[in-house]
Amino acid sequence: MKLLYQRLLIFFNTLFLLGLLYLSSKYLLVKFINSYQFQAIDEAIVIAVLILSTLIVLFSFYTYKNSTIIYVEKIQENTLENTTNSGDVQKSDKLQLDKFTSELNQIEQSEGSIQQKIEKTFNLMCSAIQAGQGVLYQCHQNEEKVSLVCSYAFVAKENQITSYQFGEGLIGLSAKENRTLKLDNIPEGYINVFSGLGSSSPSYIYIIPFSNNSSATIGILEVALFKDLTVLEQEIIEKSKSSFCKSII
């Protein structure tokens, strides 16, 4: 339908131009050559074609303008809907972050040893970011050594290293340089996460150091994930790091 409408528009615009050209040529012939006179029938046909074509052009312009306005309004409505949805997502994220912060404060204010609070906080964080596995290390600056504090869904194999010297392996490197490391495209079988239904390999590993006001690294977070971290999950990790800084000395 739209294609037919466009073709009709082109046809009548062509008639309009031909009629205009016809009148112009006749006018020039009459004025400068004076060898030909308009006949009434010719003038009536040409004028009728011109009027009809003009009306169609004006109507087409008006219709196109209105359709353009409607289209723009639809775009604006869709943009508004997207903004609203984005706001809902941000609002949802804020609610989840507030809930996590509340649970974190409850752990900090609860009774129990420092080790127990650290383990609860680490489990809460790993669960919130949907980690497949996680390990928390403490850095000993005097000895330039990193040792395991607690873990999430991780059981060390026999003879598996759970402590590193500064600069040794990725954990030691992160501790020495106080630098976050991100590994993606993890080879199949590099890490296996086991459940009652079987095992699978994570796609991402984050090694994240944290420190207090000084530049010295206090501890290292290592988490294995099946998907990349979202903005919300990064905020959750930041809040957890602040809590660990209070607990790990």
Q: Residue 105: its pLDDT value, please?
A: 95
What is the pTM assigned to this prediction? 0.61
Reported as a single tens digit per residue, the pLDDT across 135-183 is: 999 999 999 999 999 999 887 776 677 899 999 999 999 999 999 999 9
3-state helix, strand, coil in the chain (%, to 5): 55, 20, 25
Mean pLDDT for the chain overall: 76
Kindly give, in sequence order, each residue whose CB lies less than 8 Å from that of residue 220, ignoring residues fewer than 6 positions away. 136, 137, 139, 146, 171, 174, 175, 207, 208, 209, 210
Rg (CA), the chain: 37
Q: Residue 189: its pLDDT value, please?
A: 65
Between CA 115 and CA 151 the distance in angstroms is 12
Q: Residue 230: its pLDDT value, please?
A: 93
Residue 79 has pLDDT above 60, yes or no: no
pLDDT class of 12 with cuts at 50, 70, 90: low
